[in-house]
A and B are shown apart, each in its own frame.
Chain A
Amino acid sequence: MDRVLNGFSERLATAGLAWEKDILFLALDDAVLASDPNHPDREVLEQALLALQPGALACIRPAEPYATILAFFLEQRPQVLAPRDSETRLFLHDLPVASEFSAQALVQGLKNRKGMVLPGPRLAALGPLTPEQAFVTLSSLCFAVFVLFFSDYLEDLRAGRATPEQRAAFARAASFLPPVRTDRPGLVQGPFDGPAQVCAAMAQAGRATVDFGLVDSAFGNVSALLDRTVWISQTGSSLDLLEGDLVACALDGSSCEALTASSELPAHAGIYAAAPATRCILHGHPKFAVTLSLDCDRPDCPDRGQCHLRCPAKRTAGGAIIVPGETGSGACGICHTLPPALRGGNAAIVLGHGLFATGRRDFNEAFAALLGTENACREEYFQRVRDLGG
């Protein structure tokens, strides 16, 4: 178990979310296990763990730019943060913000939520069952506060209410952004000749998407069409570790093996049906594409607050169409909105969620569309900021 905990610390560090010394994972079986027994936060965290009795509890002091972003939010002294990205809406609801780092504050925040913000600045996350859940929630928290900060800034500039502190925090956070990547990974070339090659290509594409910072390991999904079968990543898989985590879903519906497929299988299947030349789909959560998708210049829109379900405007960002829609197969599911959007182009942004890119031959085209759109969105974001005097 100790090795498992250290594995998660390493993965957070590799993803650039925190330095390893600033990460602490605790797990509870019949005794408490710690990724770093001498960590200064251990006592506080362990008290909270014993009070809450989940499978695991983790806490990080995030690296930049998250540290700057969180320090700014903490200055405002809100009781909760309410990010508008879909992952937070669906799984985390909102994020309690504590005014002190104490066991009591952790218990108060986490007795009804999976993740929270604390002074330090720190992020804490519960693993109700396993440490992996805390790991997933921590990366979700980082993503959520990033998108919240950058989209709030644009909105506040537009409304003329950006404060000097906000401008300063923005300049500082922006200075920590990693450089724009313009290189391309050389991915397996199609057409794919069988399941083994398809699986290898999918694993490779998933890893490159994570490596390029276009999605956190725990999110996103990838699929490829081979004959009448959609190969897709399983739900709860790590996009950079897909070997052995792919499942074949027969489009004729003769088996229910796809019960463990990504929850976006209906959207993927819909895209293959709507755009028959499509051979593969790559889905990531690139931060600026998501941030821009939330930027709306119609403050009086009657559907405001419901944008992620039914944004009526035809909008684009970085050259890609933006569509509303929720995860899964509900009435507002992206399985209804994405396929028509991808009939014409090879990239579409789901509002507040992420980007779907397609390839007609292999993942090189999809990857290029994903990275190209994100780079264009990043440029467009800063252009909009400059235009608004920020």
Chain B
Amino acid sequence: MHGPCSLLTADLGSRTCGVLRLPEETLRLFPGGRGLAGHLLRPSAHLPWDHPDMPVLVLAGPLSGTEAPCSSRCHLVSRSPLTRAFGDDAVGGGLGLELARAGFLGVLLTGKSPAPLGLEIHDGHARLVDAAALHGKTTDQVFAALADWGSAACVGPAAEHGVRFASVQVDRLFSAGRCGLGLCLAAKGLKYLAVSGSGAVPVHDPKGLAAARADIERLFHASPVLRGPQGFGRFGTAALLDLTQSRSMIPTENFRHTRCPGIERCNAPALAARFGFQPAACPDCPIGCVQQDGHGRALPGIEALSQFTALLGLVDPDLAVEALDLCGKLGLDPVSAAGSLAAWAEVTNQKPTAWTVLNLLEDMALGHGDGALLGQGAQRLAQELKRPEAAMTVKGLELSAFDPRGACGLALGYAVSTRGACPWRALSLGHELLRKPVPTERFSWSGKARMVKLGEDALAAAESLPVCRLTLFAAGLEEYAKALAAVTGVPATAQDLARLGKRVVYQERLINAALGFSAGDDDLPGRFFREPGDPGQGFETPPLDRAAFLEARARYYRVRGLDHNGLPVRDKAEELGLTWTVS
């Protein structure tokens, strides 16, 4: 095995750190990131999310710390307090890079400390330190205190006050927001994680890696989406806003509309003109999708931008930037925060203003007034207010930025995603919206079941290396297999990676099935089957056809090797190298 193959373990209860060497067989099946994290979570996944023995995993992978493009990131996994299902999120910044340089494949956190602690890792050494002085501090204050570290992750007041969609912020501008992983860390009593690594990650074939990198970068440069004049490298994913508007799939007023009049005042070029985009990319990233303004505030990507404007029925670029900045400081997931606000506005029949939005974000993070309920997420909030249908969620996770009525693969991908509603999870936006790697008819279900499955596999593989999902809008597993083989010296093909992805997704299905999730949870809110979206130029946006959706979902189950209820079957699990345990 090349590179790090040990995890740093930290038990916050006993305040002890150790090293867990992973068996080679485990790493062969799950080289890192999302897949390895799922593997390590699975034996404990039945525990309540806040149980002391419930692990939280922060994992790098085999490409971390190498020259492979977009590999500085890491993947966080635990059981989600928001969905109670498998919970994960990828996060940019340099955490994966520093962990690998410190000699670790990742961190396994268990136990529970009554007092807030920080975990500090410097090369091979780690210690848990008292962090009482940082308790209650906003993330920008924590990062200021940790400025000397190579990379740092922390939680904000939202996590400390029990917000179910509390985020983990990394290197100030990056966020593992989905699924409430910040609350998982806070439940352990961990306020921050700081890492500095100075070692070099060994590469078996540096020339081969350089060649793979050149192939990948050429594809990035040839991609209008990543490196074109209006692409993510210039404007971040906010560039997508003009497309969601013109395709009539921009979620507006809690998905009651799919077009937002005047939204062009908030589009990426407008933001760039107003705030001045300065690149703030992950270390050594050839895409560069993250931008900040002159005050060092992160500028919103498509999700935060769309959620804090159209979803709330507010066309106000200042609000979008301020709300995102506030979410970052408080440690809130902007997608779920805005999704909860939108549900609350619909149920209470209020039209939010910029002022109420910013105030309610603070209230959420501090558990004040209505904020306490909002901090439970849209699903619990809508149930509590006796209007469950107003929660635009799948498995309790809020939908974001892309209306499922606008694209059938997107709709199916939202429904079957193992972590709940996620527009990226099946990579459908690539072919249905961005025409990559090939355009597909967005209003057609034809072939979408398999495309969703293939997209899920590709993403799960990429996130197990781990590399950024945006790479897959231009490069493919073929190119990353070449990079992986060069790093490890073990031959790897696109097909091997696709199989890895299959194994990773199936493993998450096994975890969720053991927790009681089945076909009934692989579904979208009723609104999308009942109410049409707004028409666009030369087309209608009808409601999703329920029968066609169910048929596509059944087809997806067959293609994925699940039973008719969406549950894993023993033969398939074992074929993929997964252990079968009776739940």
Contact = CB atoms under 8 A, between A and B. Distances in A.
Interface of A: 1, 4, 27-30, 52-55, 89-91, 93, 111-114, 127-130, 132-133, 136, 234-237, 249, 253-263, 265-266, 269, 326-330, 333
A91 B476 CA distance: 10
Interface stretch (B85-93, B214-222, B508-516, B540-548): B214-222
B431 A129 contact: yes
A91 B223 CA distance: 12
A249 B493 CA distance: 39
Contacts of B222: 90, 263, 326-328, 330
Interface string B474-507: 0010100110000000000111101000000000
Report, nearest first, the 5 A-B pairs whose CB atoms are least far apart: A330-B221, A328-B222, A111-B495, A328-B221, A112-B493
A78 B555 CA distance: 42
Given A130-B440, A235-B224, A236-B438, A258 B495 contact: no
A328 B228 contact: yes
Given A112-B478, A333-B221, A266 B228 contact: yes
Given A259-B239, A259-B240, A262-B224, A28 B435 contact: no
Given A236-B435, A236-B439, A330-B218, A257 B246 contact: yes
Residue in B219, B231, B437, B438 whose Cβ sees the most chain A Cβ within 10 Å: B438
18 contacts: A1-B447, A4-B446, A29-B447, A29-B555, A30-B449, A114-B478, A128-B454, A129-B431, A129-B454, A253-B229, A253-B230, A256-B268, A257-B230, A259-B240, A263-B222, A265-B229, A328-B218, A328-B224
Contacts of A53: 498
B450 A260 contact: no
B267 interface: yes
B497 to A, nearest CB: 10
A235 B221 contact: no
A118 to B, nearest CB: 18
A133 B431 CA distance: 12
B2 interface: no
Given A234-B439, A235-B224, 12 more contacts: A27-B447, A111-B495, A129-B431, A129-B437, A133-B438, A256-B243, A257-B242, A258-B230, A259-B239, A260-B243, A261-B224, A328-B227
B28 interface: no
B445 to A, nearest CB: 10
B241 interface: yes
A29 B227 contact: no
A74 B10 CA distance: 59
A259 B447 CA distance: 25
B225 interface: yes
A93 B211 CA distance: 11
Contact of A258 (B223, B228, B451, B455): B228
Interface of B: 215, 217-219, 221-225, 227-231, 235, 239-243, 246, 264, 267-270, 431, 433-440, 446-447, 449-451, 454-455, 476, 478, 481-482, 493-496, 498, 555, 558-559
A259 B434 contact: yes
A237 B436 CA distance: 11
Contacts of A91: 219
A74 B243 CA distance: 47
B457 to A, nearest CB: 9
Contacts of B454: 54-55, 128-129
A52 B243 CA distance: 34
Nearest to B230: A256
A1 B449 CA distance: 13
Given A1-B447, A29-B555, A253-B269, A111 B493 contact: yes
Contact of A113 (B243, B431, B449, B478): B478
A263 B224 contact: yes
A235 to B, nearest CB: 5
Given A236-B436, A259-B225, A266-B228, A330 B217 contact: yes
Contacts of A249: 230
B450 A28 contact: yes
Contacts of A263: 222-224, 228
Contact of A328 (B223, B241, B450, B455): B223
A256 B242 contact: yes
A265 B559 contact: no
A235 B431 CA distance: 11
A132 B240 CA distance: 25
Contact of B229 (A1, A28, A93, A258): A258
A114 B479 CA distance: 11
Contacts of A28: 450
Given A129-B454, A330-B218, A55 B447 contact: yes
Contact of A269 (B229, B270, B440): B229
B229 A52 contact: no
B446 A1 contact: yes
B438 A255 contact: no
Given A1-B447, A265-B224, A260 B434 contact: yes
A247 to B, nearest CB: 10
Contacts of B476: 128
Nearest to B270: A254
B451 to A, nearest CB: 6
B269 A30 contact: no
Given A128-B437, A133-B438, A327 B224 contact: no
A48 B435 CA distance: 27
A90 B218 contact: yes
Contact of B559 (A4, A30, A93, A129): A30
B559 A130 contact: no
A389 B494 CA distance: 45
A258 B228 CA distance: 9
A259 B236 CA distance: 12
A256 B240 contact: yes
A254 B243 CA distance: 13
A30 B242 CA distance: 35
B493 A129 contact: no
B64 to A, nearest CB: 23
Given A114-B478, A253-B269, A259-B243, A129 B227 contact: no
Contact of A255 (B228, B242, B446): B242
Contacts of B434: 259-260
Contacts of B223: 263, 328
A330 B269 contact: no
A111 B494 contact: yes
Contacts of A235: 224, 435-436
A191 to B, nearest CB: 26
A29 B450 CA distance: 5
A368 B235 CA distance: 39
B268 to A, nearest CB: 5
A329 B436 contact: no
Residue in A127, A129, A236 whose Cβ sees the most chain B Cβ within 10 Å: A129
A127 B454 CA distance: 12
A89 B351 CA distance: 54
Contacts of A258: 224, 228-230
A363 B478 CA distance: 39
Nearest to B219: A90
Nearest to A111: B495
B357 to A, nearest CB: 25
A55 B498 CA distance: 13
Nearest to A126: B494
A256 B235 contact: yes
A130 B495 CA distance: 16
Contacts of B451: 55, 129-130
B566 to A, nearest CB: 14
Residue in B264, B431, B481 whose Cβ sees the most chain A Cβ within 10 Å: B431
Contacts of B498: 53
A237 B495 contact: no
Contacts of A89: 218
Residue in B449, B454, B558 whose Cβ sees the most chain A Cβ within 10 Å: B454
Given A29-B555, A55-B447, A55-B450, A259 B230 contact: yes
Residue in A52, A114, A260 whose Cβ sees the most chain B Cβ within 10 Å: A260
